[in-house]
Amino acid sequence: MTENALQEEVGFFHPSTRFYRFTVLFFVSLLTYGSYFAYDSIGAIAPTLIKELGVSRSVIGTMYTVYSIAAIVSVFLGGMLIDLIGTRLATIIFATLVTIGAAIVAFAPNVTVLMIGRFIFGAGSESLVVAQSAILARWFKGKELALSFGIALTISRLGTLFSFNTEALIAKHFGNYKAALWAAVIFCAFSLGAAFVYAIMDKHGENILNLPKPLADEKVKLSDVKVFSKSFWYVTILCVTFYSAIFPFTALSTDFFHDKYHLPLTVPSGGGFFYQAFYNIIHMFDTAGGTTTIIIAASMFLAPFAGSLVDKIGKRATLMTFGSVLMVVAYLIMGFTYVPPKYPMMILGAAFVLVPAAMWPSIPLIVEERFQGSAYGLMTMVQNLGLALFPFLNGKLRDVTHSYTASMIMFASLGFVGLIFAYLLKKADAEAGGVLEKP
């Protein structure tokens, strides 16, 4: 029986229909919208926080570091909790932690309390991503699984896009940086509401469809580590170098673009607040925060096409090599020239599209299926070690040198290290039969 015929027989909102399944997808995608928005709210108003709190850039970087430390812990505990109590209750717990953490950050009377809030926020946020993956596998495996992941990622990254393009405007409009942080809390609470809607729909669908028990795939079993090949470790190191050169950069990129290129935090316009927000979004290349979102927008709109390209041509190790070269070029341009930053950011955006599209799908090709959960979990954990270190180093270098040139050299160096390991990956893959280079 076709899905259309089934829908006519049981009704359009029966759990077995595509409409019901994609309604679940809509609310599951919203689970992480608030956390993405809140994660980057610090970077979006970094210049204001530095001024209002009287803190150094390294302190802003540390706000991202404590998040990543919490994420490392949650890699071990979050997946086990999902397997123990199921995605419905786990999702509500994680979304609640995200909202509480964001509220503590917004309320914080001092930096210490703010850091505590970021830690709680990070513990819930990263676990929520793992839960989201388990939910999508539960509802879409054997159906539109790749599409569901793409839609969920796009909606999540809209949170980042809107954060960098509205938070500075919110702070300016209300004359208080805390207003921007409370806006992040509102979106996190909105995502918590989506968690409750998902739980109701999932419970209803489970009773009717006898859905399989959801499992958190991205868990680390230390006993599995010994079976991984050289190719896996090279991909993991590439993962660290790549993401350590992207997200720690965006943590202070608004301040960087404002500091070096004198880009404004907002674009002056008439009209009410919502008109100004819309005006800032459509003129994002003209603001410091908006320029940051070039790489996010590239990923949102081009990642599905890049995934299809990789499936058709293979060349995964080659694309990771090319992406590393693009990263080096982009950071050297920003470090040593005054070329308008939107151009090197477009180059960096191309890297941000190509490398993940080649990197993450490589794991099933070089790791046995029964070990893939540990492989992805270990990659995520090691990735967060880099994300814990480099935001602090980025801010510290700016504080010590009074410019961002040293930071750009550091990020370009990460790209160069990635280039070395991309070469080693190509060599190891060729010895193993060239599986990564095949379509």
- As a whole-number percent, the residues of the chain with pLDDT over 90 amount to 60
* pLDDT band at residue 374 using 50, 70 and 90 as cut-offs: confident
- More confident site: 9 or 107: 107
Q: Determine contact, residues 311/346, Cβ cutoff 8 Å.
A: no
Cα distances (Å, whole numbers) of residue 4 to 18, 34, 98, 146, 202: 9, 34, 39, 21, 22
Residue type, 324: S
Domain span(s) for CATH 1.20.1250.20 in the chain: 1-219, 221-439
Residue 223, pLDDT above cutoff 90: no
pTM above 0.85, yes or no: yes
Q: Is 367 helix (H, G, I), strand (E, B) or coil?
A: coil
Q: Is the pLDDT of residue 9 over 70?
A: no
Give the chain's length. Answer: 439
pLDDT band for 45, please (50, 70, 90 cuts). Answer: very high
Query: Which CATH number describes the domain made up of 221-439?
Result: 1.20.1250.20
**Is pLDDT of 220 > 70?**
no
In the prediction, which pLDDT does 217 show? Answer: 64
Mean pLDDT of 409-438: 94
Which class does domain 1-219 fall in? mainly alpha
pLDDT of 34 > 60? The answer is yes
Q: What is the mean pLDDT of residues 392-416?
A: 97
- Return d(Cα 91, Cα 71) in angstroms, integer: 16
User: Which residue, among 387, 384, 386, 373, has the nearest Cα to 220 in the 3D structure?
Assistant: 373
Q: Does 302 have pLDDT greater than 90?
A: no
- Report the pLDDT value the prediction gives residue 221, as an integer from 0 to 100: 66
Q: What's the rounded mean pLDDT across residues 145-164?
A: 86
**Band of the pLDDT at 83, cuts 50, 70, 90?**
confident
Q: Are 20 and 205 in contact (CB under 8 A)?
A: yes
